[in-house]
Amino acid sequence: MCMYLHLESMCAGEENWVDSRTIYIGHREPPSGTDAYIPQRYPDNRIVSSKLIIDTPTSPITSGLPLFFVITVTAVKQGYEDWLRHKADNAVNQCPVHIIQHGKVVRKQSRKLRVGDIVLVKEDETFPCDLIFLSSSREDGTCFVTTASLDGESSHKTYYAVQDTKAFRTEQEVDTINATIECEQPQSDLYKYVGRINIYQDRDEPTAREAFSHSSDLRSTETHFDLQFSMLYANTKTKKSYCIPIEYVFTDKTGTLTENNMEFIECCVDGHVYVADAICNGQILTGTVGMDMIDSSPGAGGKEREELFFRALCLCHTVQVKEEESVDGIKKGLQPCGKSSSVYISSSPDEVALVEGMKRFELMEVLSFDSVRRRMSVIVKSSTGEYYLFCKGADSSIFPRVIKGKVDQVRARVEHNAVEGLRTLCVAYKTLAQDEYESVCKQINTAKLALHDRDKKLAEAFDVIERDLILLGATAVEDRLQDKAADTIESLHKAGMKVWVLTGDKMETAAATCYACKLFHRNTQILELTTKRTEEQSLHDVLFDLSKTVLRHCGSLTRDTVSGLSHDVPDYGLIIDGATLSSVMKPTEEGSSGNYKEIFLEICRNCSAVLCCRMAPLQKAQIVKMIKTSKEHPITLAIGDGANDVSMILEAHVGIGIMGKEGRQAARNSDYAIPKFKHLKKMLLVHGHYYYIRISELVQYFFYKNVCFIFPQFLYQFFCGFSQQPLYDTAYLTLYNISFTSLPILLYSLIEQHVNMDILKRDPSLYRDIAKNSLLRWRIFIYWTLLGVFDAVVFFFGAYFLFDNTTFTSNGQLMTANTNMMFGNWTFGTLVFTVLVFTVTLKLALDTQYWTWINHFVIWGSLLFYIIFSLLWGGIIWPFLNYQRMYYVFMQMLSSGPAWLGIILLITISLIPDMLKKVICRQLWPTSAERIQRIRADKTFERVFTYSHDSLLEESQLTSEA
């Protein structure tokens, strides 16, 4: 579909002019003016479909009331959110915008914008989305925009006006434009927009055709926005259900393990090494700090190279200088607009050179960075009229394209730096002749004009241009480890999780970081699966070698499995790079890839730490998927901070985003967002552990209590001629799950803490208690179910024997002297139900190990509520009911001695097996958490009686070390 946009006029003043295409659908407008937009939530109709039984034994109220309850709660919640959204929408829809009509500026409410209106945006204004950038007050037709309202990225992005319209600068001029815009259909990618503008000078013939790509407009229609969010929401929804315990942790390196705060360490020009201190003074002190100098005194040629090198650094980036009144302002006006990978040359060793560079060179083209090419280039024209292409990028992407320069020396230096854990960047250049430049321009422009596959064509063009470079040198910057990153990784290891680091960095750098953050220890035996090795041997041999090594270790491991994972066995660490990985994953004709994959998985399974370097973003997701779908189906967690981690975050069961420097992409796509990597420790070891304990109790208790509830009903059918006669009264059927037994388990699943937070944090091995989903296995589930069945049988047959064949009667002393009254079926049901409610609640009380006042309130309150409700329900002839079957049933039951005795007896019988199981298991096969509880309890006991001053803290530390 094509959209035609009629542009009537165009204009400019001090401001940026933007044309608009706005579509408002309902109140779905994203409130672009605020940071805190409300995510679109669709009502989730997770309402249990009611059974279609022709002849239902329960009244409509019984089944209807819980349904009504659920619907009401949902409706109120949705309604409230809708109302909030409506308010936010109103605020946005009514915010004023300036548009151009007949050469004049008119103020309008933003909701009255129509497609084709031309909008005037002033500096620091928030403006509606879906605009095409026509013209700017700046000479070069650029403007800076932050997209914080859309994606939270606050960095300034440069946008370029459409070439043919940037000349229209005043209101009157703009008014004269007559053009149509052709563009593609709305799509979900927020940052992409491809279209073509046709400008008509006269009636018919388009005089100029200009293509614009994503850089020349700002867009995101409401529909997209919704799309985007419903998708995310769905993701979140489904993923929440995987509730921990994590077995594999996949982490990004840069920005996740490290600060992503680059510090300039050194550079190497033509083999001469310069360290940061020397440069930071603003002067380049050659020679003074050379470390690995190959040429001790750089000659005149060296000087020239140096100059070129720094010039390249100065020019080859997208750092922009905003024009301020005074020259002093230059420094603070530095606005990094670069994409994620650009190195910030922060404080100004290059200030002078930079300004010089800006003066002497004219920027002609930018071949912007992308993660596939791993490099970027600029083409500049010097004042002397020469054309230069400066290129910088990862060593692996530069070296193959270099034909001249001291490649070996620089390469050696780069490798040395990488081993130190520094991030390296190589710089190269080439000169272009006039005609070369023109052909380059042509190539790029053709590619840019393409409506389809523009990216692909651009990439091809770039590939051709960035060839035959001359190597200038390399820089090295340090990216410090985040606070407590090593501690966190170590804890995760101790907790039995396998940590994988997935990074785009080169192997040496990444390996150094991994040692620094204790992913690998000194005694870790490193297995390498890299291109270097596979060049020597075939992949097949390498894989088999490694698996042999690992299996030997595995054999010794199985002997130790009884005592858990022993620390004495040497750890294995695996390093694999992207290229090897893809060949492992690649399916071959013989179908042996499955085989490779299996061997690879087998190796991975036995390595506690794996480092994957040189990974493309998609490969990260591939790896996660591979592990996720391997035969044990482990639960995976992925953590990352940048856009390149999004795929992996989405792929893993649990995705965690770090809100770092690289925008909110990762955080937006994640299930949980945290500010620092170190928070992962508390999140997994403490909250993860708690949540797991709580959710497993919640799930199993729900099954248990409903088995207890329904199984007597089932048994009763054998005694009522299979006539579906309900055992319990309607009110009890309805309220059992929504009020009598709901709050205690809700509270349990909110605040249960079997072990204190600080102990969990201090002793990561406690996490192994819940490893491999130990609390939600079949064994445990069957135990709970059997317990439920047992209890149900006790309830039912207990009541049965009380009623059957005997005169179970009440001494109605309260009513009349010495009468003996018979009990009917409703009393029978009420007796069973009373025992049921008490047993089920007390069972939870036995499970609760953390009694706050709320627990007391809720547990005893629930029982009290049941009694009060029953008294009330049976105490009145309810006028609106057509049956009075419960009238005085509860009171009559309570006035009978045997009923009391029976209730107490049955509750006791039901609770004994579980209590016994708990005690015996704790005594004979305690989990680590239970040991700790025990020691703490003993300690408290001793402290009370001996006034010992040993702090609990020390004691538990002692245990954690044990």
The only residue of 1, 327, 562, 962 in contact with another protein, by rule CB under 8 A: 962
Which whole-number Å values give the CA distances from 520 to 276, 417, 498, 683, 817, in the listed order?
Answer: 29, 19, 12, 23, 85
Q: Taking CB under 8 A as the rule, does residue 347 contact another protein?
A: no
By CB under 8 A, tell whether 815 contacts another protein.
Answer: yes
CB of 885 to another protein, least distance (A): 7
Alpha helices (runs of H) in 537-685, residue ranges in sequence order: 539-560, 578-585, 593-605, 617-628, 646-651, 665-669, 679-681
Q: Rounded distance, CA 896 to CA 116, Å? A: 84
Among 47, 720, 746, 872, binds another protein (CB under 8 A): 720
Q: Judged by CB under 8 A, which of 816, 946, 947, 949 binds another protein? A: 816
- Residue 714 touches another protein, criterion: CB under 8 A: no
Interface with another protein includes 53 (CB under 8 A)? no
Of 472-480, 512-520, 569-577, 820-828: span binding another protein (CB under 8 A): 820-828
- From 105, 846, 864, 868, residue interacting with another protein (rule: CB under 8 A): 846
Asked if 723 interacts with another protein (CB under 8 A), we say yes
> Under a CB-based contact definition with an 8 Å cutoff, are residues 524 and 570 in contact?
yes
Q: 3-class DSSP state for residue 663? A: strand
User: Using CB under 8 A, which of 116, 206, 336, 898 touches another protein?
Assistant: 898
Write down the residue that tokens 């229209």 correspond to: 168
Using CB under 8 A, which residues numbered 11 to 50 contact another protein?
34-36
Nearer to another protein, 133 or 823 (CB): 823
Residue from 252, 270, 641, 671 carrying the catalytic annotation: 252
Following DSSP, what letter does each residue of 608-646 receive, concatenated?
SEEEEES--HHHHHHHHHHHHTSTT---EEEEE-SGGGH
Q: Given candidates 235, 261, 811, 927, which one binds another protein under the rule CB under 8 A?
A: 811
Q: Which amino acid is at 911?
A: L
HSE-up of 355 (CA within 13 Å, CB side)?
13
Interacting residues with another protein between 116 and 155 (CB under 8 A):
148, 152-154
Which of 42, 83, 850, 860 is in the footprint of another protein by CB under 8 A? Answer: 850
> What is the rounded distance in angstroms from the CA atom of residue 662 to the CA atom of residue 665?
8
Alpha helices (runs of H) in 101-211, residue ranges in sequence order:
148-151, 171-175
With binding defined as CB under 8 A, does residue 364 bind another protein?
A: no
217 is catalytic: no
Quote the distance between the C-alpha of residue 273 and its chain's center.
41
Stretch that binds another protein, among 308-316, 473-481, 581-589, 895-903 (CB under 8 A): 895-903
Stretch that binds another protein, among 38-46, 187-195, 461-469, 825-833 (CB under 8 A): 825-833
Kindly state the helix (H) or strand (E) to which residue 250 belongs, with its residue range.
Answer: strand 248-252
- H or E element, residue 101: strand 96-101
Contacts of 232 (CB under 8 A, 6+ apart): 39, 668, 669
Using the minimum distance from each CB to another protein, give the nearer residue, 167 or 912.
912
Asked if 57 interacts with another protein (CB under 8 A), we say: yes
Q: Are strands 248-252 and 636-640 parallel, antiparallel or unpaired?
A: parallel
Smallest gap from Cβ 807 to another protein, in A, equals 3
Interaction with another protein in 397-456: which residues (CB under 8 A)? none
Q: Which of 91, 746, 854, 868 binds another protein (CB under 8 A)?
A: 854
Give how many residues touch another protein by CB under 8 A.
Answer: 109
State in angstroms the smallest separation of the CB of 14 from another protein.
27
Look up residue 322 and give its two tokens.
Answer: 């905003």
Cα-based distances in Å from 407 to 359, 421, 573: 31, 21, 32
Q: Does 924 bind another protein (CB under 8 A)?
A: yes
* CA dihedral sign of residues 566, 570, 571, 572: negative
Query: Minimum distance between the CB of residue 857 and another protein, rounded to whole angstroms?
Result: 12
Q: Which three-class secondary structure state does DSSP give residue 170?
A: coil
Binding of another protein by 801 (CB under 8 A): yes
- Can residue 562 be called a binding residue for another protein (CB under 8 A)? no
886 scored as a contact of another protein (CB under 8 A): no
The least distance separating another protein from the CB of residue 835, rounded to whole angstroms, comes to 13
- Under rule CB under 8 A, which residues in 931-950 are in contact with another protein? 931, 933-938, 940-941
The one-letter amino acid at 509: T
Contact status, residue 795 vs residue 906, Cβ threshold 8 Å = yes
Residue 927 sits in the site that holds another protein (CB under 8 A): no
Candidates 523, 558, 806, 946; binder of another protein (CB under 8 A) is 806
Q: Do the beta carbons of residue 782 and residue 776 sit within 8 Å?
A: no
Choosing from 236, 397, 774, 849, the residue that interacts with another protein (CB under 8 A) is 849
Indicate the residue among 48 and 962 with the shorter CB distance to another protein.
962
| C-alpha–C-alpha distance, residues 130 and 562, integer Å | 63
The tokens describing 77, both together, are 């919640």
| CA 389/CA 392 separation, integer angstroms | 10
Subset of 208-237 contacting another protein (CB under 8 A): none
Minimum CB–partner distance for residue 809 and another protein (Å): 4
What kind and span of H or E run contains 439?
helix 434-449
Whether 659 and 674 have beta carbons less than 8 Å apart is answered as yes
Rounded to 5°, angle at Cα 792 from 788 and 793: 120
Nearest to 910 by CA among 795, 765, 786, 748: 795
Evaluate the CA torsion angle 276, 278, 283, 287 in order and state its sign.
negative
Give least dist CB 29 to another protein, A: 18
Q: Does 824 bind another protein (CB under 8 A)?
A: yes
Window 665 to 704, contacts with another protein (CB under 8 A): 667, 672-675, 679-680, 682-684, 686-687
Q: Which of 277, 172, 256 is nearest to 662 (CA)?
A: 256
What tokens appear for 107 in the block?
Answer: 């103020």
Cβ nearer to another protein, comparing 607 with 929 = 929
Stretch that binds another protein, among 69-77, 272-280, 323-331, 821-829 (CB under 8 A): 821-829
Site for another protein in 735-794 (CB under 8 A): 751, 753, 756-758
Taking CB under 8 A as the criterion, the residue among 78, 725, 739, 774 binding another protein is 725
Choosing from 201, 819, 948, 951, the residue that interacts with another protein (CB under 8 A) is 819
- Helical pair 928-946 and 952-961, crossing angle rounded to 10 deg: 150
- The binder of another protein chosen from 92, 387, 798, 858 (CB under 8 A): 798
Among residues 515, 511, 510, 512, the alpha carbon closest in space to that of 490 is found at 515
260 in contact with another protein (CB under 8 A): no
Nearest distance from C-beta of residue 221 to another protein, angstroms: 22
Report cis status (omega within 30 of 0) of the bond before 349: no
918 binds another protein (CB under 8 A): yes
Q: Are strands 387-393 and 375-382 parallel, antiparallel or unpaired?
A: antiparallel
Please report whether residue 808 would count as binding another protein according to CB under 8 A. yes
Interface with another protein, residue 76, by CB under 8 A: no
Pick between residue 231 and residue 854 the one whose CB is nearest to another protein: 854
Q: Could you say whether residue 310 binds another protein (CB under 8 A)? A: no
Rank residues 59 and 382 by Cβ distance to another protein and give the closer one. 59
The site string for another protein over 634-663 (x = CB under 8 A, - otherwise) reads -------------------------xx---
Quote the least distance from Cβ 129 to another protein, whole Å: 17
Question: What is the C-alpha separation between 797 and 817, in angstroms, rounded?
Answer: 31
Which is it for strands 179-183 and 153-160: parallel, antiparallel or unpaired? unpaired
What backbone phi and psi angles, to 5 degrees, belong to 133?
Answer: -80, 110
Interface residue with another protein among 883, 950, 951, 954 (CB under 8 A) is: 883
Residue 896 found at the interface with another protein (CB under 8 A): yes
Task: Cite the active site residues.
Answer: 252
